[in-house]
Amino acid sequence: MPKGEFPPLALVNIYKRRMTIEEAFRDTKNEYYGLGLKRSRSQSIERLQTLLLIALLAQWCLYVIGKAAEMQGYHRHFQSNTITTRRVLSYCYLAKRILKTSRYEITEKMLFEALDLLLLETKC
């Protein structure tokens, strides 16, 4: 990469996106953190494509729910460490934890606000 092509902040943001993609792969495959696609044991390409599409749609929903939960500060109730300046849980994992308990409310308004913010964050 030629020197000076990207400002330092742009490089940091690119790296953050890369880490989000890595989390998404983990969340799709891993049963504990995400959807457990690893356990499907499917051998058919067509079936795997269908499972991946369903997983992608489910993961997108979890991502938006997780973002909404973070915007409400719910993530602080699930973090086991003292880091408060940055997110340490993936949105999908946080959403799964939120959905397993009735203590936290995620309203339609919260979801739309989270979706708007996610769309704003992904613009280049």
Query: Would residue 32 count as lying in a domain?
Result: yes
pLDDT band at 116 (very low <50, low <70, confident <90, very high): very high
Q: Full-prediction pTM beyond 0.95?
A: no
**Tens digit of each residue's pLDDT (9 = 90 or more) over 69-80:** 999 999 888 887
Instruction: Tell whether the model's pLDDT for residue 34 goes beyond 90.
Output: no
* pLDDT digit string, tens, across residues 5-21: 777 777 777 777 777 77
The reply to whether 40 falls in a domain is yes
AA letter at 105: E
pLDDT bin (cut points 50, 70, 90) of residue 1 is low
Residue 124 has pLDDT above 70, yes or no: no
For residue 120, pLDDT beyond 60: yes
DSSP 41: -
CA 93 vs CA 45, 72, 80, 110, 118: distances in Å: 27, 16, 14, 18, 17
Domain that holds residue 60: 8-122
**Is residue 65, in this structure, part of any structural domain at all?**
yes
Q: How many independent structural domains does the chain possess?
A: 1
